[in-house]
Structure 1
Amino acid sequence: MKRIQKFLQETVGLSANLEKLPDSQLKKLPMYLEYGYNYYLLTVEGHQLVLAYVDENLKTAGQLKKQSQAMSNLLNLPVAFVMDNQSSQLKRRLIQEKIGFIVPESQVYLPQFLISLTENARPVHSFPELLSPSAQLLLLYHLQKEYLEPFSLKEIAQKLDYTPKTITKIAAELKSKNLCQIIGTKEKRLVFIVDRKQLWTMAEPQMQQPISKVFFADSKDKVKFCQSGDAALAHYTFLAETGKEAYAIYKPEFEELKEKKYWEYIDELEGDVRIEVWKYNPRILSINGYIDPLSLYLCYREDTNERVAAEINELIHNRKW
């Protein structure tokens, strides 16, 4: 467990003491919990947290939530799980449920523990549940289009069509989640502390579904939108083209076109063309007229179709970072 101490020191800047949970505490747990995990006591500046090591037996977010609540109530201490090689979907669900966890050398999410430190007037860290759409766009741009480290925040704002104030907020958000550092005085820049592949691994569970709403409309040719849906799946994977049209449109652009009556017909249930209203601008990330591959993955990562799930996972696995 020394790697956890090292990881916390390097990523969050916390100097921690880690030891086996005393038997007197273990005896407070019912047998199914006492023998279901290996327990450790993490101490940082007088604050304590119980770490429960999750073995390779798969558990759902619902099970972990119920068990963490039981452990915390019985031990009178906050609880977080230590996990190796768990799915990004499980980690994403844990974040949504505000359940703390550590993936050694990869990710740390400890909301209760770090909030308790903050309440004692020492602001250590804050963890929004999910990345904001604007912060997500910046990361996806850095991961797929070009490295952003050489550019000032002002220059990044121009590339992403955001105001300098918005970029400053994004930078603070990413820094708070240990995804980057901010350097410089007059001209501030971002420094990403890990490579692209590792950055994706750390950030993906905290990324949002890009689509905020779906409409259906009549087919139009005047405005060129980013192709999405089945066409993008066929473009990036071995799935066959279905002939169904689907396009991704940034919400402000959609609202403007809708107000101007660009579509003669638009409905929430049926139509010739699927219109995906996006939380960030897909044009900025678009590649050859299609939505970017990482956003495509985010659109379909919870799809129940096994062939689709297999293909998008393969898309990430084979990606050249």
Structure 2
Amino acid sequence: MPPLAADVQHYLYETLGLPKSGSQAWANQDGLPYFLRDAFDFQALDILGHTVLLALDRNPEKASLGDIRAKLDKVRSVAKQPTVYVTKALASYERKRLIEQKVPFIVPGNQLYLPDLGLDLREYFRQRPTSAESLLSPSAQAMLITALLRPHWEPEWHPAEVAATLGYTPMTLSRAVRELSAAGLASVHKAGRSQYLTMAFSPQETWERATPLLRSPVQRTVWTSTPIPADRSIRLAGLSALAHHSMLAEPRLPVHAVSRAAWQALKSNVDELPEAMPGAYAWQLWSYSPALQPDSGTVDPLSLSLSLRDDPDERVQSALDVLKEQLPW
């Protein structure tokens, strides 16, 4: 029995009182296409009188949610029975996406979502320490994202250098360092008079753990009738940026991002409109600089994901899955 299947049985025993010996290898898996057998291990299991098929993810670090759903649909069409996705871990936004799409899943020790059986157990989420319950400040978020997207990843980094690049004061730097340490994302140590942060996890795991503590950088959107002026701090954003990184169609109104501070300097040279209208230009006012990647014409991919993660359009969410696969991790 695969270890993940044993974890499922133990979890179901603790939460529903089901016997631990109910899982067995699915007899028909050899009839599936190779790409499905390569993606999942399969176990048949009886849950409260219903036989379900567990699709145990063999490569969770490589899977995108769009790909997972497509494969599960294929398995379900062949098996003719409820199919449940099983993985070791899911970020909160991934759980939300799966629930919105009514995709059954089990994360042993964390959550069980089986809409076909009327089961949705969420009280088993692992809680973060109280000191990390609140959202990170925009400055701490910007520093974290900048560190995660460094061209050559190393766990240790110098926060003062990142803060200087972003134009933050020593007081803002100190507060951001305390926040990242309190969130359990990095540990602080000194070398001489310099202070360093060491990431506690890999870039991907750091991002997944940090995501519930992060917010959309977009504070509000304004529209103008004036073209976007040339400025090094302005970046393509929103659906315009996502279209640049995927096959998503360009939005009707082009979208750019600018920090609130930069907007104060620019707004005297543009004609602001009361609402979106044909031919308008959309400006997202960000809580931190949208130019965290100096050489890019778009906002960075992590901030872009945060700005669009609650978009209900499935095409947008599929494009975000494509964007996730382009991350340098």
TM-score by length of structure 1 reads: 0.61
Which of the numbers 275, 282, 303 marks the counterpart of 2:283? 275
**Residue matched to 1:131:** 136
Superposed CA RMSD in Å reads 3.6
Runs ≥4 residues deviating over 6 A: 90-93
* Aligned match of 2:199: 192
Q: 2-side partners of 1:164 and 1:222: how far apart?
A: 32
Task: Report if the CA contact (8 A) 1:142-1:148 is conserved.
Answer: no
How far residue 195 of structure 1 moved from its aligned partner, in angstroms, is 1.4
Distance in 2 separating the partners of 1:240 and 1:153: 38
Matched, 1:309 2:327: no
| Structure 2 unaligned residues grouped into runs of 5+ | 1-9, 18-53, 55-86, 98-108, 112-124
- Whether 2:305 is the aligned partner of 1:297: answer yes
1:239 to 216, 235, 248: 248
Quote the offset at 1:213 in angstroms. 0.3
CA–CA distance in 2 between the matches of 1:177 and 1:192?
A: 11
Residues 179-227 of structure 1: CA deviation (Å, up to 9, x unaligned): 0000016211111111111111111122101101011101335333211
Shift of the alpha carbon at 1:264? 2.2
The number of residues matched between the two structures is: 228
**Alignment pair present for 1:85 and 2:85:** no
One-letter code of the match for 1:155?
A: E
Distance in 1 separating the partners of 2:196 and 2:207: 20
For the 8 Å contact 2:156–2:199, the answer to whether it is kept is: no
- Shift of residue 86 of structure 1? 4.1
Match of 1:254 in 2: 263
Where 2:305 maps in the other structure, the secondary structure is helix
SS across alignment from 1:253:
helix
The Cα offsets for residues 32-76 of structure 1, whole Å up to 9 and x where unpaired, read as xx99546xxxxxxxxxxxxxxxxx9xxxxxxxxxxxxxxxxxxxx
- C-alpha spacing 1:90/1:319, structure 2 compared with 1 (3 Å): closer
Deviation at 1:313, TM superposition (A): 1.8
Q: Percent identity?
A: 26
Q: Secondary structure at the match of 2:316?
A: helix
TM-score in terms of structure 2 length: 0.59
Q: CA deviation at 1:282?
A: 0.5
Give me the whole-angstrom Cα distance separating, in 2, the residues matched to 1:195 and 1:35: 31
Q: Distance in 1 between matches of 2:206 and 2:312?
A: 26
Q: What's 1:215 paired with?
A: 222
Alpha-carbon distance in 2 for matches of 1:156, 1:149: 14
SS of equivalent to 2:304: helix
Mapping of 1:138-149 within 5 angstroms? 138-146=143-151, 147=153
Q: Deviations over 1:263-316 (max 9, x none)?
A: 123324446100100011102335421111111111111111111111102321
Are residues 220 and 151 of structure 1, via their aligned partners in 2, closer, same or farther at CA, if it must alter by over 3 Å? same
Q: Trace 1:21-32 onto structure 2 (pairs within 5 A).
A: none
Q: What SS class does the counterpart of residue 168 from structure 2 fall into? A: coil
* Whole-angstrom distance in 1 between the partners of 2:139 and 2:184: 17
The amino acid of 2:127's aligned partner reads Y
Query: Relative to structure 1, is the Cα distance of residues 190 and 228 closer, same or farther in structure 2, using a 3 angstrom cutoff?
Result: same
The answer as to whether partners of 1:230 and 1:244 remain within 8 angstroms in 2 is no
Return closer, same or farther for 1:229/1:154 CA change in 2, 3 Å cut-off. closer
Distance 1:248 1:88 in 2: 26
Show the 5 A alignment for 1:62-73.
Answer: none
d(CA) in 2 for partners of 1:315, 1:242: 17
Q: Tell me the alpha carbon deviations over residues 14-39 of structure 1, each in whole angstroms, 9 at most, x when there is no partner.
A: xxxxxx9xxxxxxxxxxxxx99546x
- Range that drifts further, 271-280 or 282-291: 282-291
- Contact 2:163/2:169, CA 8 A, preserved across alignment: yes
Secondary structure class of the residue paired with 1:316: helix
Query: Deviation string for 1:150-177 (max 9, x for gaps)?
Result: 6544323212211111111111100001
